[in-house]
Structure 1
Amino acid sequence: MIFKHFLKWVAAAIIFIFVFSSGNMAFAANGNSDEESINEKFGLPIVVYGESLSPAQKEEVRRLLGVNDTSKVKEITVTGKDLVTYINGDPHSNLYSSAKITRKEKGEGLIVKQITPENITEVTNEMYANALLTAGIEDAVVEVASPVKVSGHSALVGIYKAYDNGEGTGLNKERTEVANEELSLATNLAKKDGLDQDKVSELLTEIKKEIAKQNPATKEDIEQIIDEKIKTLEIQLSPEDRQLLIDLFDKMRKLNINFDNVQSQLNDLTKDIQKRIEETVGDKGFLETVSNFFKELIDAIKSIFS
């Protein structure tokens, strides 16, 4: 009986320490007042808001993107007109997805972070990164957020506008159009049976890496590269989708997009994609193990207090 009471006190103490420690850790994380230094070479980070955001939603996006002081960022809005200008989109579209762009020194690479991945339903980090590299954006930290569930396409347009209206140089319109075509094809392929977002991103990345390696001179060369990658990655595509890929990458070839300049970033993309595929495969077993652990722990605590 005494031993049982002792176990109760031990269990209560453990729970108290866990809750108290968790609270302190959360407080420390939220109370961090360190501010990132502004790179005067590139100017202020640029925050682009979707024009359909309500005032309350805009404040929520500011919070999500870490904008505590609006004087330390340049704020612009992406509109339906911009959708037409950059990607020949529908000017009447509702635009919610927003982005923060912090330019970096050459060679630092491109980092894409979705702050609200649960609300960006069609575009993954790797899809954004692939499209941005195609558009010519190579060295920056890009953070994407939306207070509501959206496909995520307007954030890409916002990033393009940031480079035109911000402190940086404007982008090549032909490249941004091809980049948008790439993103649209990627999101459409990811909806096909037998494919998912990671597999599509892996295919696009591997094709680009091979283009950088071979520097294809003809459309037939592009076709051969695509067929080889489809076979290697064991992907089944319809003749129509295969042709869309060939046409897309042939456009890139004609624009002389040099993927050799971003070879290391493409390699990093491959690693990220493969890591997530491995994690996804192992998720089921891992979650089952965690579930069983907590079930056993709860049962043990119940037995102590019963």
Structure 2
Amino acid sequence: MIKRLTGLSIALILSLQLGLSGASATDGNGEEGINEKFGLPILVLGGSLSDTQKEEVRKMLGVTDPEMAEEVVVTGEDLVRYIDGEDRNAQMYSSAKITREEEGEGLVIERVNPENITQVTDTMYANALLTAGIENATVEVASPIKVSGHSALTGIYKAYEVSGEELDTERLEVANDELNLATDLANEEGIEEEKVSELLADIKQAIADQNPATREEVEAIVEEQLANLNINLSEEDRQRLTDLFEQMRNLNINFDNVSEQLGKLSDTIQEKLGDVVNDEGFWQGVKDFFQGIIDAISGIFGGSTEDESTN
């Protein structure tokens, strides 16, 4: 019984800790109100959602008052308009709320129900959006059903178009390629998702620092960062990485302009990689705390935890 109670107590403490931090962020955003410089947040709903699912997503993304967000729907027609060669019949379920922020705030990405966004992580979204030229925004992604999460990127593009900002379609296509490659490396090569994001961010930062002039120099940067992170890829995927960043080089993306946001993204990735689940000191503290409780209870009842029934 005590062992069972211990497990439940740990789960409760972690749930409260995560829940309170999430509630704090949500409450803070609500109290700040609307930034009149940028206008209302934009809620982008997947065109494949039913009316009931759309209402569910509105609640997930905290849009309880329709006058507090500008609402648009993203469809397969938008997908082919932004990304050449895509299927206009694609199913669009992933939805997002985009709140533009002041210069220097960086990108903050949150999947509000990550259990339903099965392939794309927060930092994968952030990496791709920086490539697309999107900076300084809070982006919340949600889906009422399990989806890969790729279509949310198209919805975010549409939100910026609706807000009057013109995005470079070539950069959008490269960002889409980047997201596809990121999820492929995680799913097919079996690399930890945050490790993939770290690799992509580090390559971008190295390109910003070194300003490569040839494909060979890009390839050398890719190889160097793979070695730094001790990541082994197939020759095909190494070439895909080089091809991707060669595309970026040919687009003359000025990574110096996003260097600060890349730094913030790298910090975020490191925080996720060193999450509390992997914090041995934290877990030892939890173990010691509950062992003290168990010892105290055992002393009161004059029993031993070794004599407990497993039922």
Which TM-score applies when normalising by structure 2? Answer: 0.81
Partner of 1:202: 198
CA distance in structure 2 between the partners assigned to 1:119 and 1:41 by the alignment: 33
Contact 1:42 1:168 in 2 (8 A): no
Counterpart of 2:118 in 1: which secondary structure? coil
From 142, 152, 166, the counterpart of 1:145: 142
Tell me if the contact between 1:113 and 1:143 (Cα under 8 Å) persists in the aligned partners: yes
Contact kept, 8 Å, 2:276 with 2:282, in 1: the verdict is no
Residue 39 of structure 1 corresponds to which residue in structure 2?
35
Q: CA deviation at 1:293?
A: 5.5
- What's 1:107 paired with? 104
Residue type at the aligned position of 1:156: L
1:99 Cα offset (Å): 0.5
Q: Percent identity?
A: 59
Unaligned runs of 5+ in 1: 1-14
Which has more radius of gyration? 1
Q: Is the 8 A contact 2:189 2:233 kept in 1?
A: no
Question: Aligned residue for 2:45?
Answer: 49
Q: Flag the 1:124–1:146 CA change in 2: closer, same or farther, 3 A.
A: same
Task: Compute the displacement of 1:152 (Å).
Answer: 0.6
| Structure 2: gaps (5+ residues) | 1-8, 304-311
Q: Deviations over 1:91-115 (max 9, x none)?
A: 2222211101111222221111111
1:194/1:236 contact within 8 Å kept: no
The number of residues matched between the two structures is: 282
Detail structure 1 runs of 4+ shifted over 3 Å in the superposition. 29-36, 283-306
Counterpart of 2:243 in structure 1 is 247
Aligned counterparts of 1:60 and 1:303: Cα–Cα separation in 2: 50
Distance (whole Å) between structure 1 residues aligned to residue 31 and residue 113 of structure 2? 21
Letter in 1 for 2:63: V
Q: Which amino acid aligns with 1:136?
A: G
Q: In the alignment, residue 101 of structure 2 is paired with which amino acid?
A: K
2:186 to 180, 190, 208: 190
Asked if the contact 1:207–1:226 (Cα under 8 Å) also holds between the matched residues in 2, the reply is yes
Q: Name the amino acid aligned to 1:261.
A: N
Cα distance in 2 for residues equivalent to 1:32 and 1:274: 26
Out of 72, 82, 91, the residue aligned to residue 76 of structure 1 is: 72
Q: Partners of 1:68 and 1:44 in 2: how far apart?
A: 14
TM-score (structure 1 length as normaliser): 0.83
Alignment root-mean-square deviation, CA: 2.9
The amino acid across from 2:87 in the alignment is D
1:304 Cα deviation from its structure 2 partner: 6.0
Q: Which amino acid aligns with 1:103?
A: R
